[in-house]
Every structure is written in C-alpha cells, then in structure tokens.
Amino acid sequence: MIRKALKHPVFQEVSQLSLNTFGTVLISLAGSIALARGLGPEVRGMYAWMTSLAGVLAVIALIAPYNSARKLGAGGPETDWPRWLGTITTLNLVGALLTLPLLAWALTFPIGRDYPWLVIIAWLSVPAQILINTTTAFMHMRRRLWDTLLTGYIPKIMGVALVIIAWGLGALTLASAVVFNTLSAILGVLACLWFLNISPRLWHFGLLHTKGIKRFLGAGWLAGWTLFVLPKIPLLIGPYYTSLEDIGHLSIASSLYEMGMILPMLLTSVLVSHFTRAGHVPHKSKMLLASFVGMALMSIAAWVVSPYIIPWLFGAEFAPSIYLFHLYLLGWVLQGPLAVATGAVTAKGFAGLMAWPPLAGCVVCLGLCMVLMPQGGAAGGVLGVLGGTTVQLVVLGLLALRHK
C-alpha cells in the first residue's frame, strides 16, 4: 500500500516541487536566523512590519497575476513576446503606482512616522518584485527551468550573505537589513534580465493584450492577495495593540508557520492540474483524510522539537516564540484538507468563486485580531489567524456542497 502511494503521480509531483522549494526555504531560514540574532526581538519586530507591508503591497500590485500571465502567453511560438512582456509589465507597474496611497497610509503608523525613509526604501522592492514575477512567468512558459531556479536562488543567496556578513561584523541594524532586503529584490531583477536575454528596449509597453486576460483579473487577483495577506494581518496591525518585542516573537513563529504551509500550497497546485487532467475528482475522502493525517503528524513532530530548535537557532531571547508557534501548529492541521478542497473546487471549474473563502478568512482574522490583540498580544494575533483559516475552510466546504 505504501509502495503504491509512493508511485502515485500526485505524490511524485509534490515531492519534486518540494525538493525544488527546499533550497529556497533553507536560504530564507538562514537569513531569519541572522536577522533574529543580529537585531533582537524589538528591532526584528520593526523589520518584520516593514517587510510584511512591502510583501502585501507587492501582491496587491500584481494586477496581472502569475497564472493570468501564463494564460495570456499560452499562444505558443507565434506569440509576440516583446509585446506580451510589455503588456504584463505595464499592468503590474500601474499596480505598483496604485499602492502609493496605501504606502502613504502606512506612514501614519507609529513605525512609519519614526522611520519614513526606511518604509519608502522597503516599498522600492514592490516594483522590483513585479518585474521578477513578469520575467519568471515568461521563462516558465519557455520551459527554461534552470534559468528560473537561478533567478530565484542567486539574489536570495546574495541578500542573505550580506545580512550574515553585517551580523558577523556587528554592523547589522534595522536600516542595513531593510536596504539589503530591497537590494536583493533589485539584484533579482538584474538576474532576470540577464537570463531573459531580451533587452527591455525591445518591449512594447502598453495595454494591447489586456483584452485576453480581463476574465482572469478579478477573482485571481483577489484570491491571490487575500491568501497572502491572511497570515500577515497580526504583523501589520500588531504595533497598534502590543509591543514591538511581542511582534518580534510573533514574526519568528509566523515565519516557521508559513514555511510549513509550502507543502499544502504545492499540493493545491499539483491537485488542480491532476484533477483537471482526470476530468473528475477521484478519492476525495481518502485524499482529505490523508492530508489531515499527514499535516497532523508533521505538527506533532514540530511540537516536540520546537522547544529545542527555536532557542538554539534564534537565541534564548526568542523563547516566547515557542508558545506562539505551538498555537500556529493547529493551523497546519487545517491546511492539508484546505489544500485538497481548493484543488478539487478549482479543477471543477469554479475558479471564479475561489476569492470568497480567503476574503471571508481575512475579514474574520482582522476582526479577531482587533478584539484579541489588545489583551492577548501576539497570542491573540495567532488566534485570529486560526479563526480566519477555519472560516476559510468552512466557506470553501459550503461552496463545494452548493456546486456539486
């Protein structure tokens, strides 16, 4: 039975994607360790707020999400690639400009008022991330897998190397950490342009091809940024309700939680294509049970080792992150069934409805965080994320039942 499961195409595809992602996770983990040990909980909390803000703005700015970009360029060799690149880049750069009001609003936060220039420098990674998204979509469609991997690895390695060097020299500060983060994104753009080997001067900027992707923009864009925002909500609004030191502890627990979410996200991606090819959704109950048991076992293992691993990696100052991470592990258990359900509903042709579950989850998470964080601090934020994830799963289940 185990041998049969190991040979299942879904398991093999998820395993292959996991191996490709594992290196990126290790690089990010190395950077998190250096930042935690070099900055301490309070400054790490400020850094987490700035980078989370930039990440959320980058996702919101993706007016033409990755999947939409792929569908637009699916015309084969005859596709006008320079005009396609120009169209997608124009859309996303317009999206970056639309985030400027949100940036101005962020400058009214306590951290934004104290460090306005650092917040602006963090925002500069937004247009850089957009260009990376555009060129990566192009290279994926051209099946240039090694180029895609290298454009992801090289900038991350260089950015983490700068952080580690500054930490080793005792020169790692909030300012240098934010600059290194933005510099890493800019290096990513340069790497993409190098491997792309198409001069931007040849791109035809404009909106000529937008007609073909209009039907992909609304639901895909909304679902994309709400899924990304949900676990970030406590980090974004936390400085209003609790101490920056508490946010620093939360940032470590949140980072570890999001690393564990990679496997369910990959599972969703694989299941969508697998179910679509099959034309139906086979063995739903077995897959739901297997995903639940698998993530539960993974959570139990993390529960056992985290009290030893977290202080050892990040320092004794971050021991409070252990309790927060233990709360987050309940979310891991929910992510397995959520991945299977998302893959099934999307493959059945209801992709337009997929924005509603994460949107409902974000609304509930925001409300719970605003109620619980003033008294419960970071733990209230974690409970908000768990509540939002639960609502997301419930709404998705209701949609699945209604649209059998």
Q: Give the tokens for residue 404.
A: 């059998």
| Closest among 229, 262, 263 to 385, alpha carbons compared | 229
CA 299 to chain CA mean position, Å: 20
State residue 76's pLDDT score: 45
What's the pLDDT tens digit per position in 391-404? 998 988 887 776 55
Looking at the predicted structure, is the pLDDT value of residue 207 above 90? no
- Does the reported pTM lie above 0.75? yes
Burial string for 28-60 (b: 16+ CB within 10 Å, else e) reads bebbbbbbbbbbebbbbbbbbbbbbbbbbbbbb
pLDDT tier at 324, thresholds 50, 70, 90? very high
Q: Mean pLDDT lowest for which of 54-68, 108-122, 149-163, 259-273? A: 259-273
What percentage of residues in the chain have a pLDDT greater than 90? Answer: 38
CA distance 59 to 3: 40
Q: Are 236 and 119 in contact (CB under 8 A)?
A: no
Burial string for 220-258 (b: 16+ CB within 10 Å, else e) reads bbbbbbbbbbbbbbbbbbbbebbebbbbbbbbbbbbbbb
Looking at the predicted structure, is the pLDDT value of residue 10 above 50? no
What's the pLDDT tens digit per position in 215-237? 445 566 677 777 788 999 999 99
Q: Is the dihedral of CA 21, 23, 26, 32 positive or negative?
A: negative
State residue 251's pLDDT score: 95
State residue 253's pLDDT score: 95
At 151, the amino acid letter reads: T
Burial tier of 326 (Cβ tally within 10 Å: 0-12, 13-18, 19+): middle
State residue 365's pLDDT score: 96
- Cβ-based neighbours of 244, under 8 Å, separated by 6 or more: 41, 42, 43, 45, 46, 111
Range of 178-192, 292-306, 369-383 with top mean pLDDT: 369-383
Looking at the predicted structure, is the pLDDT value of residue 208 above 60? no
Strand, helix or coil for residue 64? coil
Q: Are 25 and 259 in contact (CB under 8 A)?
A: yes
In this predicted model, which residue has the larger pLDDT, 96 or 221? 96
- Count the residues in the chain: 404
What's the pLDDT tens digit per position in 15-40? 545 555 667 778 888 899 999 999 99
pLDDT tier at 122, thresholds 50, 70, 90? very high
CA distance 351 to 356: 10
| Closest among 62, 52, 135, 51 to 99, alpha carbons compared | 62
Q: What is the CA radius of gyration of the chain?
A: 21
Residue written as token pair 């124009």: 90
What's the pLDDT tens digit per position in 262-314? 766 665 555 545 554 555 555 566 777 777 787 888 899 999 999 999 999 99
User: What is the pLDDT of the chain when averaged over all its residues?
Assistant: 79
Looking at the predicted structure, is the pLDDT value of residue 112 above 50? yes
Looking at the predicted structure, is the pLDDT value of residue 5 above 50? no
Our CA angle for 123, 127, 129, nearest 5°, is: 95
pLDDT tier at 376, thresholds 50, 70, 90? very high
Q: Are 248 and 177 in contact (CB under 8 A)?
A: no
Please write down the long-range contacts of 77-84, taking CB distance under 8 Å and 24 or more positions apart: 80/204, 81/138, 81/198, 82/198, 82/202, 82/203, 82/204, 83/203, 83/204, 83/206, 83/208, 83/209, 84/138, 84/209
State residue 281's pLDDT score: 52
Count of CB atoms within 10 A of residue 27's CB? Answer: 18
State residue 80's pLDDT score: 58
Cα torsion 124, 125, 129, 132 to 10°: value is 90
Q: Give the tokens for residue 331.
A: 């979310």
**Residue ranges per structural domain of the chain:** 45-208, 227-404
* Mean pLDDT, range 120-134, rounded to an integer: 86
State residue 141's pLDDT score: 64
In this predicted model, which residue has the larger pLDDT, 152 or 181? 181
State residue 119's pLDDT score: 94
What percentage of residues in the chain have a pLDDT greater than 70? Answer: 69
Q: Are 381 and 250 in contact (CB under 8 A)?
A: yes
